[in-house]
Amino acid sequence: MRSVQKSIQPLCAPFLHPKHTTRIQLSCATQPPLWARSFHASASLRVVDLAYRLHDDQGKAKGDPIVMIHGLFGSKRNNQSVGNALARLLARPVYALDTRNHGESPHSHPHTYTALAEDVEAFLAKHGLRNATLIGHSMGAKTVMAMALRNPDCCANIIPVDNAPVDAALSSDFPKFAQGMQQVEKAQPKTQRQADGVLEPYAKDLPVRQFLLTNLARPEPGAALKFRIPIGTLSKSLGHMADFPFRNPDEVQFTKRALFIRGTKSHYVSDEVLPIIGRFFPRFELVDIDAGHWVISEKPDEFIQAVVKFLQEKED
């Protein structure tokens, strides 16, 4: 693992994503906190009450909170061991969330970064979480970036993992995963082994299949296994997950600290997007970990080391 600090000066010309030339409008939205506002001019979306798991080292973690947000098709279960470790090493409580349409949280339309951000903002307000560190992987990374840009006061700092603040196509694997999961439901398997056999043509790697199949549940004794997540809704939302709701870093920035962690074998945070990251997040730091897109599960020790080092450093 190598750690490189980046502080990229703004480029002369404003950066505009080629897909969009419109600007984002800010207006008042959800309450209570004053910083909870929508980045659409329309009324706020319906917020859902997110399920979570608290890791607080048996009540000994009393510092500022850490909030962890999983990636697409994930859940709070993915961050259990890492959450326990961070709570113990940093003496800070870690809240591992299930986003809408994932884990034990409610299912709701739409599944966009606007909706995800508003849900997490409402969670922070409901639980009185101030000065939080927001950590997000993949879909969760774009969620915490969007939150930081639209409402800088909602957090102390952010740690996006293997994603960037740009419109970029998802890996072709994700549509295959969604298709395979739909085939699993059609097959009505009675066992995990049967479900794995159906899914294998769509997800060749066993660890990936095991990750996806953690979403299976049996509604009642003797019934076929079904996914607890709404596969249809998420399949239709893949385009939204490729987008990023902010286009122009000349209009909005997050000037607090940000740690970007990327997998060196992943394509989601290429060197070409680093100047864009630097313009949205001028105090960002970069850590490379020898891993693919699933950085946290592939290299948990290196990930924990990077997070602990970042959060133990004193502010300038």
CA distance 201 to 180: 8
Neighbouring C-alpha atoms within 13 Å toward the C-beta of 64: 11
Q: pTM, whole model, 2 decimals? A: 0.85
Catalytic positions, please? 138, 293
Query: How wide is the angle at C-alpha 151 spanned by C-alphas 147 and 155, nearest 5°?
Result: 75
In what helix (H) or strand (E) does residue 53 lie, and over which residues does it extend?
Answer: strand 52-55
From-to residues of CATH 3.40.50.1820 in the chain: 2-12+24-167+244-312
CATH architecture of the domain formed by 2-12+24-167+244-312: 3-Layer(aba) Sandwich (3.40)
- Each residue's pLDDT, cut to its tens digit, for the chain (316 residues) gives 444 444 333 333 333 333 322 222 222 333 334 333 333 323 456 899 999 999 999 999 999 999 999 999 999 999 999 999 999 999 999 999 999 999 999 999 999 999 999 999 999 999 999 999 999 999 999 999 999 999 999 999 999 999 999 998 776 789 999 999 999 999 999 999 999 999 999 999 999 999 999 999 999 999 999 999 999 999 999 999 999 999 999 999 999 999 999 999 999 999 999 999 999 999 999 999 999 999 999 999 999 999 999 999 865 4
Phi and psi at 184, nearest 5°, equal: -60, -45
